[in-house]
Amino acid sequence: MILYIIRHAIAVEAAEFGGEDSQRPLTGKGKKKMQSIAQGLKELEIQLDLILTSPYLRAAQTAGILAKKFKLSEDQVVTTDHLAPTGYPDQLIEEINEKYGEAEHIAVIGHEPTLSSLASMLITGDPNTSIILKKGGVCRLSIENLEYGRCGSLEWLLSPAQLARIAE
């Protein structure tokens, strides 16, 4: 299995936004940048069978931009509370194994610090190592048998600027 761990793109700042945190949208610039990032992933000729996303608007919008670029159908984009800031990555892994074990190329879209901690856990068995995942950043793991423990290799980790550069 190939797992892409993707942090949501640039959203309106919490201080500027009056509403609930779960409803903070991407900025116009954030959407545009995410389109470039998705194009960059397209240029790298990656495949995607399934996107799992946090229900928070900024993540769901990020997932929408990616899904459109990869021409995924509606049922290939799934929302899960385990990717919300309040979710638990071990339960996310359980959900993937229970429901989506057949998918070979999965992207998960959510929030920090959960995502870099998840990447760290799968690569090292320790959730606390230091991997920098910027907004719109992507890392790719190849995984033998998915579990919440050391089970994968880090193939690459690209910043949003690098992905946008590849899209040019």
Quote the Cα angle for 115-126-56, to 5°. 15
**Binding flag, residue 159, a copy of itself (CB under 8 A):** yes
Please tell me whether residue 113 binds a copy of itself under the rule CB under 8 A.
no
Are 24 and 128 a contacting pair, CB within 8 Å? no
Give the nearer residue to a copy of itself in terms of CB position, either 87 or 136.
136
Q: Which amino acid is at 115?
A: L
Question: What are 4's two structure tokens?
Answer: 């892409």
Of 74, 13, 65, 64, the closest CA to residue 36 belongs to 65
Residue 46 touching a copy of itself (CB under 8 A) = no
Q: How far is CA 155 from CA 19, 33, 125, 139, 141, in A?
A: 38, 23, 16, 8, 6
Does residue 152 bind a copy of itself (CB under 8 A)?
yes
Alpha-carbon gap, residue 124 to 153, rounded angstroms: 9
Q: Give the nearest distance from C-beta 98 to a copy of itself in angstroms.
A: 25
Binding test (CB under 8 A) with a copy of itself, winner from 9, 12, 60, 158:
158
Cβ–Cβ < 8 Å for 72, 52: no
Residue 36 CB-density burial (10 A; 0-12 exposed, 13-18 middle, 19+ buried): buried
- Stretch of 46-54, 85-93, 96-104, 153-161 contacting a copy of itself, by CB under 8 A: 153-161
Shortest spacing between CB 114 and a copy of itself, in angstroms: 17
153 binds a copy of itself (CB under 8 A): yes
Residue 131 touches a copy of itself, criterion: CB under 8 A: yes
Does position 61 bind a copy of itself by CB under 8 A?
no
Site string for a copy of itself, 26-45 (x = CB under 8 A): -----------------xx-
Give the footprint of a copy of itself on this chain (CB under 8 A): 43-44, 120, 123-126, 129-132, 139, 142, 150, 152-159, 162, 165-166
